[in-house]
Amino acid sequence: KQEVTQIPAALSVPEGENLVLNCSFTDSAIYNLQWFRQDPGKGLTSLLLIQSSQREQTSGRLNASLDKSSGRSTLYIAASQPGDSATYLCAVPQGAQKLVFGQGTRLTINP
């Protein structure tokens, strides 16, 4: 059974800093890994999808890496802004369709 863990559970940093969020998964036989953002009381917004054959994906100030062999992914956020404050979730498929989510990292960017 796939398990996904995210560390840290919460993170607070000053505006402008670069930061890294971590995600680990127990079963390395994954098709892809996704990072999502969730604002309080809202649904999910997909940020980045990394296929199993890829090492990283970039979108603007976001960069996600994937190391299948070690069961790890990181989400790097450059030059953080207060608008980046949200909960960030990573998820991997279990089987063909189900997604298994981590607990999330609650990120606060202080102005």
Binding site for other proteins (CB under 8 A): 36, 41-46, 89, 97-104, 106
Contact by Cβ (8 Å): 89, 38: yes
State the nearest-atom distance from the C-beta of 78 to other proteins, in Å. Answer: 25
Closer residue to other proteins in complex, CB, 15/54:
54
Closer Cβ to other proteins, 44 or 62, answer by number: 44
CB of 99 to other proteins, least distance (A): 7
Cα 100 to Cα 107: distance, rounded to the nearest angstrom: 21
Least distance to other proteins from the beta carbon of 33, Å? 13
Measured from the CB of residue 36, what is the shortest distance to other proteins in angstroms?
Answer: 8
Closest CA to 83 of 56, 61, 104, 64: 61
Contacts of residue 58, Cβ cutoff 8 Å, sequence gap at least 6: 48, 64
* Nearer to other proteins (CB atom), residue 7 or residue 79: 7
Q: 83 — phi, psi (to 5°)? A: -70, -10
Choice between 15 and 24, CB closer to other proteins: 24
Smallest CA-to-CA distance from 89 within 17, 13, 10, 23 is with 23
